[in-house]
Amino acid sequence: MDCEFPSINSNTQEIKQIFEEVRTIAIVGLSPNPEKDSHKVAKYLQSVGYKIVPIYPKEETILGEKVYRSLQDVPFAIDMIDVFRKPAAVTPIVDAALQRGDVKVVWLQKGIVNNEAAQKAKEAGLKVVQNRCTMVDHRAIFG
């Protein structure tokens, strides 16, 4: 598989604005394993005041929050999706976010790039971040 370079890049000001505007973040692929990056990042985001929404195929709760099997199952508004899935899995996740109509930001974690899905989200009016870590960026901006 070829590695893609992000065709959509975000600057620090855009990322700061995202963090200031969002409150509820669905973590797609949030592992219950405390050693996994998705768990560490979600725990950090929770610790700095964001409501996290675990999206995972198993478990009932992760980090004290109810686990949902898909974005469509979440019965309340989601501001941002933070994706910890392989690039090939991103397109259906973006499609689900677009179907919801309330997601404002698609964030693909460090190492995850899917330019086609990112472009689709951007054309639909969503903000898009690729190949960056929410925890690293939040710490860098807000300390």
B/e letters for 106-124, b = 16+ CB within 10 Å, e = fewer, are: bbbbbebbbbebbebbeee
Nearest-angstrom CA–CA distance, 103 and 101: 6
Say what the pLDDT of residue 10 is.
Answer: 75
Nearest-angstrom CA–CA distance, 25 and 81: 6
So where are the chain's domains? 12-142
Could you list the mean pLDDT of each consecutive 10-residue stretch along the chain, which spans 143 residues? 64 94 99 98 99 98 99 98 98 98 97 96 97 96 93
pTM of the model: 0.94
Of the options 3.10.20.30, 3.90.650.10, 3.40.50.720, 3.40.30.10, the CATH number for the domain spanning 12-142: 3.40.50.720
Say what the pLDDT of residue 11 is.
Answer: 85
